[in-house]
Amino acid sequence: MTISPVHVIGAGLAGCEAVTQLTRHGIPVILYEMRPVKSDEAHKTAYFAELVCSNSLRAANIENAVGLLKEEMRRLGSLIMQKADEHQVPAGGALAVDRDGFAAAVTEAVKANPLVTVIHEEVTDLESLEGTVIVASGPLTSDALFADIKKLLQADYLHFFDAAAPIVTADSLDYDKVYRASRYDKGGADYLNCPFYTKEEYVAFWEALCNAESAPVKDFEHDVFEACMPIEEMAARGEDTMRFGPLKPVGLIDPRNGKEAYAVVQLRQDNAAASLYNLVGFQTHLKWPEQRRVFGMIPGLENAEFVRFGVMHKNTYLNSPQLLDKHFNLRNNKRFYFAGQMTGVEGYVESAASGLMAGLAAARAVLELPEVELPEVTAHGALANYISNPAIENFQPMNINFGLIPPLTVRIRKKREKNAQIAARALEALDGFLPALKTEQA
Non-local (6+) Cβ contacts of 128 within 8 A are: none
**Tens of pLDDT along 343-379?**
999 899 999 999 999 999 999 999 999 999 999 999 9
Q: Is the pLDDT of residue 220 over 50?
A: no
Q: Is the pLDDT of residue 266 over 90?
A: yes
Q: Which of 351, 417, 372 is nearest to 69 (CA)?
A: 351
The response to whether 187 counts as a known ligand-binding position is no
Q: Is the pLDDT of residue 162 over 70?
A: no
Q: Is the pLDDT of residue 219 over 60?
A: no
The response to whether 15 counts as a known ligand-binding position is yes
Contacts of residues 198-206 at CB distance under 8 Å and 24 or more positions apart, as own/partner, are: 198/262, 199/262, 201/297, 201/299, 202/243, 202/247, 202/262, 202/263, 203/239, 204/297, 205/294, 205/297, 205/298, 206/235, 206/239, 206/242
How far, in Å, CA of 149 to CA of 316, rounded?
Answer: 12
How is 139-182 classified by DSSP, letter by letter? TT--HHHHHHHHHHHTS--EEEEEEE--EEEGGGS-TTT-EEE-
The response to whether 296 counts as a known ligand-binding position is no
Q: Which of 40, 301, 267 is nearest to 165 (CA)?
A: 267
The structure's pTM equals 0.80
Instruction: Quickly count: other Cβ atoms within 10 Å of residue 229's Cβ.
Output: 20
How far, in Å, CA of 110 to CA of 434, rounded?
Answer: 24
How far, in Å, CA of 322 to CA of 223, rounded?
Answer: 21
The response to whether 11 counts as a known ligand-binding position is yes
In this prediction, residue 252 carries a pLDDT of: 93
- Residue 441 pLDDT grade (very low, low, confident, very high; cuts 50, 70, 90): very low
Ranges 38-47, 192-201, 352-361: which has the least confidence:
38-47
267 bridge partner residues = 192, 279
How far, in Å, CA of 384 to CA of 389, rounded?
Answer: 9
DSSP H or E run through 433: helix 415-439
- CA torsion, ordered 106, 109, 113, 119, to nearest 10 deg: 40
How far, in Å, CA of 396 to CA of 402, rounded?
Answer: 17
How far, in Å, CA of 47 to CA of 56, rounded?
Answer: 17
Buried/exposed code over 185-222 (b: 16+ C-beta within 10 A; e: otherwise): eebeebbbbbbbbeeebbeebbebbeebeebeeeebee
**Tens of pLDDT along 108-155?**
999 999 999 999 999 999 999 999 999 999 877 888 998 999 999 987
Q: Which of 345, 352, 346, 343 is nearest to 322 (CA)?
A: 343
How far, in Å, CA of 59 to CA of 187, rounded?
Answer: 11
Residues composing the chain: 442
Beta strands in 186-260 (DSSP E): 191-196, 253-254, 259-260
In the chain, which residues fall in CATH 2.40.30.260? 164-314
The response to whether 10 counts as a known ligand-binding position is yes
**Tens of pLDDT along 270-287?**
888 888 899 999 999 899
Q: What is the mean pLDDT of the chain?
A: 90
CA atoms within 13 A on the CB side of 387: 37
Fold assignment, 164-314: Elongation Factor Tu (Ef-tu); domain 3 (2.40.30)
- Residue 442 pLDDT grade (very low, low, confident, very high; cuts 50, 70, 90): very low
Q: Which amino acid is at 416?
A: R
Give the mean model confidence (pLDDT) for residues 201-226: 78
Task: Give the CATH H-level superfamily of domain 6-157+318-439.
Answer: FAD/NAD(P)-binding domain (3.50.50.60)
Q: Which of 329, 398, 336 is nearest to 69 (CA)?
A: 398
**182, burial (CB in 10 Å: exposed 0-12, middle 13-18, buried 19+):** buried
Give the mean model confidence (pLDDT) for residues 293-317: 88
Q: Is the pLDDT of residue 223 over 60?
A: no
- Residue 42 pLDDT grade (very low, low, confident, very high; cuts 50, 70, 90): low
In the chain, which residues fall in CATH 3.50.50.60? 6-157+318-439
Parallel, antiparallel or unpaired: strands 311-317 and 6-9: unpaired
